[in-house]
Amino acid sequence: APTQEAHSSKGYDYIVVGGGTAGLALSTRLSQGLRDSSILVIEAGPAALDELGINVPGKKGSTLGTKYDWNFTTTPQESVKNRVFAQNRGKVLGGSSAINLLTYDRASEHEYDAFEQVGNPGWNWTTFLEMMKRSENFTSKNTEWYGDAGVNTNGPIHGTINRIIPTHQDGWIPTMNRLGIETNKEYLGGNLLGVSYSPNSIDPTHYNRSYSANSYLPLAGPQLTVMTEKIVAKVNMKEDGCGYRASGVTLTDGTFIAARREVILSAGSFQSPGLLEHSGIGNRAILAKAGVEQLIDLPGVGENLQDHIRIQSTYQVKKNYTSIDILRYNPEYAAEQLQLWVDGKLSLYDYAGSGYSFMTWKQAIGNDSELLALAQAVVGTSTNPALKKKLEWMSDPTIPQLEVIMSDGYTGVKGYPAPGTPLYGEGFFSLIAAIMHPLSHGSVHINSSDPLAKPIIDPNYLSNEHDLQAAIAAIKKCRQIALTPPLRDVWVSEYEPGLNNVNTDQEWKDFVLNTTLTIYHPVGTCAMLPRGDGGVVDPKLRVYGTNNLRVVDASIMPVLMSAHMQTAVYGVAEMAAEIIINDARGH
């Protein structure tokens, strides 16, 4: 097991900045593979291994906005009525794997192959799958689903199909089948298209969240030191004749910790680029404005920000069905169910979400030529590798463009009905649509030399007609799904937006502009791309211009794939561990 202590004055061989999803997976693997090396991981947040809000699947979402969250926000988004969007990120040992919504899936084969095609030899579906499987412990008693195709059963992070599927969700798969979406029982195998019950990152032994802090870290060797509640201010860089060398890191309290071999940034898509900027690596103008001396000119730092957007409609279920909302309006029942969970018994708190579907635009709306033409107009003659890939993917019949989730319980925007109002005590489900490849790209930068200042996050949501029309098509699809039997038979009214409230093109557009949210998948801000294409790291994850500074987290993904991110982030960490261990052994 790792040790938890004050840092050694002699320094460490490897320092990992950020004990999040990738950071803990990576440092655990380094401690297993490099037995003679000392490794330090520094995490800003606390360890919270006994926190029910993290561990209990049915409490997912309850930690957002708490002390375990960095609580970032975007700049006012010009194309979305100047709305400011929440940007939640885990500030706790385990990072965003501690606060995420537990969906456990994989993108389509061709999307991983794109890593190699944009200039990263060795990063493709075959290698990615091997790495994702290293992190995986897939256990489902229901072998009809997933069988053992494309899954591993002895890695650290547990994935399982929820044992509770509320009865009003029985109609989910038949409804989608009726709309032409086929059942997909093996979507961890590189084909995501279809309708399914998605796995969650849950350990079925006690039905608790499985995340990097409770599933990787206990496997670490004793030469891994974990330091919590310490914030790294910058990486100390020294010129050594053939580029810059990271000599260690400085904490916000001024402490310097030396790194003998390497410094690895795993602070996530919003903070790894900021740490590079605070260390003098980035765009000259941005560093000058923030009052940081530039050491390495790397204009790609903080650029290329891509994220999935979501938009949702909500339905009030008939009284004969019990939605998970009962846990919010019936405190006695909730306490009873929580006790059952604590005692390791079947509990409604086991539930984390179940019905998922992924489709191409052709499958979703029939004729996709208008959306394709809008995408072509946005991409135009751009040489941006991510934009070009996304356009190519729109004509690939194996890559989904739209995800629709049947999310149980109220997960809309206007809020669960307040106590004392007529609908308080009713149950709901939401249909959440997510656009898989929006063409709006943005940036995240520092704007001050204060390492504790919040980053300036500007994703540019809905900043082109393609993304806006895609969001409108997506939410209309949700209503079509809800109106299709057998799903139609379980609800009494569309609570949000309301069947009578939103029908015309203008009304749909307004609804989209008023209610679109993020689905929390920012990537690309330290992109693994050739330097001339705006890259920040090379295929071995080394920051250009440095010889011992790497970035290992979601920020290195050059193009936003479909699906949810965590399995790919663990895959990146496993791949990085292999690269770093091989380098250390002189291979």
Ligand X SMILES: Cc1cc2nc3c(=O)[nH]c(=O)nc-3n(C[C@H](O)[C@H](O)[C@H](O)COP(=O)(O)OP(=O)(O)OC[C@H]3O[C@@H](n4cnc5c(N)ncnc54)[C@H](O)[C@@H]3O)c2cc1C
Binding site for ligand X (CB under 6 A): 17-23, 42-45, 64, 88-91, 95-97, 99-103, 231-232, 266-269, 271, 275, 520-521, 553-554, 564-566, 569
List, in order, residues 6 or more apart from 269 with CB less than 8 Å away.
305, 444, 522, 523, 524, 525, 526, 553, 554, 555
267 versus 528: smaller Cβ distance to ligand X: 267
HSE, side-chain direction, 13 A CA sphere, residue 240: 11
536 is in an annotated binding site: no
**Closest approach of Cβ 249 to ligand X, in Å?**
9
* From 158, 466, 564, 587, the catalytic residue: 564
Encoded tokens for 190: 């590189």
Q: Cite the DSSP H helix spans in 79-199.
A: 109-117, 125-134, 172-178
Angle (deg, nearest 10), helices 109-117 and 385-394: 150
**Closest approach of Cβ 409 to ligand X, in Å?**
15
Q: Do residues 545 and 244 lie in contact, with contact meaning Cβ atoms separated by under 8 Å?
A: yes
In angstroms, the CA 587 to CA 580 distance is 10
232 is in an annotated binding site: yes
**Closest approach of Cβ 353 to ligand X, in Å?**
8
**Could you confirm whether 206 is annotated as catalytic?**
no
258 versus 391: smaller Cβ distance to ligand X: 258
Nearest residue to ligand X by CB is 20
> Which sign, positive or negative, has the C-alpha torsion 438, 440, 446, 452?
negative
Instruction: State residue 125 phi and psi, 5-degree precision.
Output: -55, -45
**Could you confirm whether 441 is annotated as catalytic?**
no
In angstroms, the CA 212 to CA 92 distance is 11
In angstroms, the CA 401 to CA 208 distance is 31
19 versus 459: smaller Cβ distance to ligand X: 19
CA-wise closest residue to 348 among 555, 569, 165: 165
**Closest approach of Cβ 555 to ligand X, in Å?**
6
In angstroms, the CA 84 to CA 154 distance is 42
**Closest approach of Cβ 42 to ligand X, in Å?**
5
125 versus 495: smaller Cβ distance to ligand X: 125
Helix (H, G, I), strand (E, B) or coil at 189: coil
**Closest approach of Cβ 582 to ligand X, in Å?**
21
268 versus 302: smaller Cβ distance to ligand X: 268
CA-wise closest residue to 211 among 13, 364, 21: 21
232 versus 258: smaller Cβ distance to ligand X: 232
228 versus 330: smaller Cβ distance to ligand X: 228
Q: Do residues 413 and 498 lie in contact, with contact meaning Cβ atoms separated by under 8 Å?
A: no
List, in order, residues 6 or more apart from 129 with CB less than 8 Å away.
106, 112, 150, 190
In angstroms, the CA 66 to CA 85 distance is 16
**Closest approach of Cβ 567 to ligand X, in Å?**
6
Question: DSSP assignment, residue 543?
Answer: B
Residues marked as catalytic: 521, 564
Binding-site entries: 92, 232
Which residue numbers belong to the known binding site for FAD? 92, 232
